[in-house]
Structure 1
Amino acid sequence: VVQEMINEILLEEALEGKKVVRLKGGDPFLFGRGGEELELLCEHGVPYEIVPGITSAISVPAYAGIPVTHRDYTSSLHIITGHRKKGCQESIDYKSLVALGETTLVFLMGVAALSDICRGLIDAGIDEATPAAILERGTTAKQRKIIATVATLPEEATKQNIGTPGIIVVGKVCSLSEIFAWAEKRPLGRARVVVTRPKDKVSSLATKLYDLGAEVVMLSGTYTKPIENNTQLIEALITIKDYKWILFASEVAVDIFFDSLWKQQIDIRSLWNCRFAAVGPTTRKAIEKRGIRVDYMPEKYYGMELAKGIEVMAQPQDKVLVLIPKEADSELANYLSTTKVHMKAVPVYEIASENNEQVNIEETDIVTFTSASTVRSFVKTMKNMDFHKVQAVCIGELTAKEATFHGMKVTVAKEATIDSLIESVIESVK
């Protein structure tokens, strides 16, 4: 889309009374043509707000360990576009740039013109031994850098097949890169990890991966929603005093159960005779947030292990309520149904899928799965994909079995915990 058309779209949508967000990479005014867009808005009296951004001219060198300014190396910073306006015959004024002396030069959108830029600087009198760098795909897990000199940089970039997007940095500060390098030294500094989580759930996994340096891509292929007019759940709540055990295999089920209690105006003190069991720490935490201590949690955090524990602990006369997702394979309920436990399984929520139109999975990516349903959702949302190329790291054998069924290359976490899953991700990267 040409810039003039973008300007018109912004104006038209704003004049219709809509709130319009024009999202740009980096800063909207640093070769981002934000000023051109504002001119048309000002002409028609359209109010606007500017949110400054961090330009790649600063952020990309920072991720490569290059401070664009340093009192011992440079007294100024100059940012130049290597991409000229269409039809413009003006060349970069290299003599003026070289005449600045000890400075840092950052060229944006100039990868294709790297040889011309370096030749222009040399012809203008710059010392050929001046440190220079080209930085490709900065701030991502795929970032690459070449540190050389103005004279040797083009040849080195060609050897390593450096491409776009990228920026060029010239100046003594480039020599600090190896000393100050930090991004790629983090445990997951070179990893791109796709986290498959329901969109309505905050992911502690994503936060921990990010803290370890991973480029995290959130792929919310599923979302959960309570079953409407759930007569089975209402009947169970009305007779809740009859149950000795209530089993939860997910935090979603916990929230729906207690919210439904409130909506049915059933006093929480009706649960005085109930004992509570959780499949793992996250589910236990959700129960304890409601002010109730969990009576049982298995040492291994699987539905099957929870079921086996209850089989031993429940008395023959005990009624056991199990809250499960609708139309999903519940190993907890399935196992208990083969025992003498007096169980009632009640579906309380649905798992719905949505199409993915934005995330492209690369062969070097690691995809994490925390349940079999997230695997199924991933398969549904990723159309026309060769799943044999997917590196899957899974929690639990049931999840791994589902991923294997679709031909993925599977690694299973040693324990059914987020921390163990992360350890497996780190091992996969190594």
Structure 2
Amino acid sequence: MNASSDKSDTGIVYIVGAGPGDQKLITLKGVECLQRADVVIYDLLLNDALLEHCPAHTEKIRAPDPRIRATRQTELNQMLVEHAKAGKVVVRLKGGDPYIFGRGGEEAVALTEAGVPFEVVPGITSAIAASAYAGIPVTHRDYASSVAFVTGHSAALRPDSNINWEHLATAVDTLVVYMGVAHLHQIAERLITHGRDPQTPVSLVRVGTTPQQQVVQGTLDDIVQKVEAAQLESPAVIVVGEVNRLREQLRWFDTKPLFGKRILVTRARAQASGFAELLEANGAEVIQFPTIEIQPIENVDIPSPKGYDWIIFTSVNAVEIFYERLRENGKDARAFNTNKICAVGPKTVNALNHIGIHPDFVPSHSGGSAIAAEMEDMRGKKILLPRAKIATAYLPNGLREKGAIVDEVALYDTIKVVSKNRDEIEADLLSGRINIVTFTSSSTVTNFLEMFPTHAPEVLLADVKVAVIGPTTQKTAVENGVKVDVLARETSIESLGETIIGEYQRT
């Protein structure tokens, strides 16, 4: 039974394949299902970031762990039926593809028997994705024209198994084995016994498509020893066949400059996405650990732009909040028609462009003193400076020294964030499991350190590199006992990301 609408008294279940690990490998339809979910029941090994697609009201339930309860599947089936019959939109979020060793078929049968409508959203299975991220195409005209997926679970190796290893050993060019790491010795032995050349190339790809991806290569004859030496553990897929010879030529993912690096981003979550995407695109695992949150100040009486010669916007926040206040007063971008506009940084320029404003002046540097120095003919000019409550005095003081009349308006504040995973982050910092901590403002530095009061900075960050956005943040870090390893070439998020990448490209 299937359904094309989720408008039903009995609800509906979407059995969604989330892909193998990289959160961006979920399909558009999978994301759409999450966006309208009332309940999500998700697998243990899934990327938690996928749950950020859910609305605020969504109930998120981690599926029972099969290693703890043998009745896991029965419990899952009952949960799906109960929530759907309560009239809810239910997403059963599964790793890889639901119908490839994912027990999606069993869940669909249970829903059918209970009279619950469902739809299946296919996902990218790890046999394809992990191999591709390891530089191994499962088919290639010169190496393989056939491929088979098989389970390597213990049941597949019993004498009564319905897997015909005798025929399978030589029937296909590429063989991909799921869940077989614990039984690698028996699998290799069976393939050799039934006619596969002992020198056949083999690769194991662990947690494929993630920054922790690990690849071990060998042959059927020696792969067991190599895996033991590398201490590779599940989850991993086993790829058997001549296509493995292409890895060194075609590998692309684990050669990225930040591959395998774990980078802590302390910026406010709402503003960290572009920075995180840049780091992730270069192979890093980004850990979101916001230490500040941007909070607009209520009941701010913003002056009309009409009476000012210049309005200086130093951040995206200032643009967005100021413009929102204008709109609340029944005005729009036309209110700026008599002003000259200064925008600090490319992101601020983009934010102004978005509302139809093209800045008259963009300084070459983001530091307050440098901005003031670059702005000419300021004597007697009236300047409006909407910005953060805790912003430094360098810019307004520098402008006043040049004879300008400056009105500062505090539009927003940066408040501390209480993090749920503080203890986990602390343990990772102390053990060196985090490679880089990034700071994008002085407040991120001070708030971060206040979260870990029992450790001196030199102890907490002893095995961690620290990267900062500019000289002001660097000064705050140093004053608080933090050694700075990476300073952005320019005071911008983009430059910070590029400078971090450059550090690792040289090593």
TM range (shorter): 0.7 to 0.9
The corresponding residue for 1:245 is: 310
The corresponding residue for 1:24 is: 94
The 8 Å contact of residues 383 and 405 in structure 2, kept in 1 or not, is answered as yes
- Could you say if the C-alpha distance between residues 257 and 212 of structure 1 is closer, same or farther in structure 2, counting changes exceeding 3 Å? same
The 8 Å contact of residues 474 and 484 in structure 2, kept in 1 or not, is answered as no
Q: Aligned AA for 2:186?
A: D
The corresponding residue for 1:425 is: 500
The 8 Å contact of residues 267 and 290 in structure 2, kept in 1 or not, is answered as yes
Q: CA deviation at 1:415?
A: 1.4
What does the per-residue CA deviation read over 1:52-82, in whole Å, with 9 as the maximum and x for residues that have no partner? 1001111111111111122332342221222
1:395 is the counterpart of 2:497: no
Q: Indicate which of 274, 283, 303 corresponds to 2:348.
A: 283
Return 5+ residue gaps in structure 2 as ranges: 1-63, 65-71
- Could you say if the C-alpha distance between residues 329 and 177 of structure 1 is closer, same or farther in structure 2, counting changes exceeding 3 Å? same
- Could you say if the C-alpha distance between residues 89 and 217 of structure 1 is closer, same or farther in structure 2, counting changes exceeding 3 Å? farther
TM-score by length of 2: 0.73
> What fraction of aligned residue pairs are identical, expressed as a percent?
37
Q: Indicate which of 269, 272, 281 corresponds to 1:199.
A: 269
- Could you say if the C-alpha distance between residues 274 and 144 of structure 1 is closer, same or farther in structure 2, counting changes exceeding 3 Å? same
1:134-173 matched pairs, under 5 angstroms: 134-173=204-243
Measured in 1, the distance between the counterparts of 2:191 and 2:104 equals 29
What does the per-residue CA deviation read over 1:157-195, in whole Å, with 9 as the maximum and x for residues that have no partner? 112222222221111111221222222233444444444
Length, aligned pairs only: 421
What does the per-residue CA deviation read over 1:265-307, in whole Å, with 9 as the maximum and x for residues that have no partner? 2465554443322222221232243333423332212234224
The 8 Å contact of residues 356 and 382 in structure 1, kept in 2 or not, is answered as no
Measured in 2, the distance between the counterparts of 1:20 and 1:403 equals 47
TM-score by length of 1: 0.85
1:172-251 matched pairs, under 5 angstroms: 172-201=242-271, 203-219=273-289, 222-231=292-301, 233=302, 236-237=303-304, 240-251=305-316
Question: Which range is displaced more, 163-172 or 197-206?
Answer: 197-206
The corresponding residue for 1:414 is: 489
Q: Aligned AA for 1:355?
A: S
Measured in 2, the distance between the counterparts of 1:381 and 1:83 equals 44
- Could you say if the C-alpha distance between residues 15 and 372 of structure 1 is closer, same or farther in structure 2, counting changes exceeding 3 Å? farther
The corresponding residue for 1:321 is: 384
What does the per-residue CA deviation read over 1:2-54, in whole Å, with 9 as the maximum and x for residues that have no partner? 23222222222222222222222211121112222222322222222221100
Q: Indicate which of 409, 422, 430 corresponds to 1:346.
A: 409
Measured in 2, the distance between the counterparts of 1:167 and 1:348 equals 53
- Could you say if the C-alpha distance between residues 330 and 19 of structure 1 is closer, same or farther in structure 2, counting changes exceeding 3 Å? farther
Q: Secondary structure of 1:45's partner? A: coil
The corresponding residue for 2:112 is: 42
The 8 Å contact of residues 306 and 332 in structure 1, kept in 2 or not, is answered as no
The 8 Å contact of residues 206 and 216 in structure 1, kept in 2 or not, is answered as yes
Q: CA deviation at 1:406?
A: 6.5
- Could you say if the C-alpha distance between residues 179 and 258 of structure 1 is closer, same or farther in structure 2, counting changes exceeding 3 Å? same
The corresponding residue for 2:329 is: 264
Measured in 2, the distance between the counterparts of 1:190 and 1:28 equals 28
- Could you say if the C-alpha distance between residues 399 and 363 of structure 1 is closer, same or farther in structure 2, counting changes exceeding 3 Å? farther
Return 5+ residue gaps in structure 1 as ranges: none
Q: Aligned AA for 1:397?
A: P
Q: Aligned AA for 1:70?
A: H
The 8 Å contact of residues 378 and 399 in structure 2, kept in 1 or not, is answered as no
The corresponding residue for 2:35 is: none
Q: Secondary structure of 2:93's partner? A: coil
